[in-house]
Structure 1
């Protein structure tokens, strides 16, 4: 696999995962009650616990996105 192919791969991974991160953040910011009511059907937990979990997973996804998508893409842009 050559560098331009890898660069395009990581570019699209970054775009797709960045879009998911933005969508998830917007849903948690704009409609937190809807997200809680939807998830409460499957996971009967208190609202405070839900808030901690959802923001923890959001932070974890952001770190994974940066480390495994954006950083390799930027490194390939620099190398290429």
Structure 2
């Protein structure tokens, strides 16, 4: 694989992962009470703790996408020029 192919792959990975992040964030914001109550029943966890866990999940996911997709993509694009 060439650097250009790897950069294209990472670009698509970044786009797909940010799309999933936006979808997850939207689902948790719009259906906050429904999702929290559903998960509280399933896992026998307090709804307040779940909201904290949701925020932590979204923050960790965003950080992982930035570190493992976006930064390598930008580095390869800089190297290619």
5+ unaligned residues in a row in structure 2: which ranges?
none
- Count matched residues: 80
| Match of residue 34 from structure 1 | 34
Which stretch shows the higher mean deviation, 35-44 or 57-66? 35-44
TM-score by length of 1: 0.90
- Cα distance in 2 for residues equivalent to 1:19 and 1:41: 28
- Cα distance in 1 for residues equivalent to 2:48 and 2:38: 15
| Match of residue 73 from structure 1 | 73
- Cα distance in 1 for residues equivalent to 2:36 and 2:15: 27
Question: What CA RMSD, in Å, does the superposition of the two structures yield over aligned residues?
Answer: 1.2
Conservation of the 8 A alpha-carbon contact between 2:37 and 2:47: no
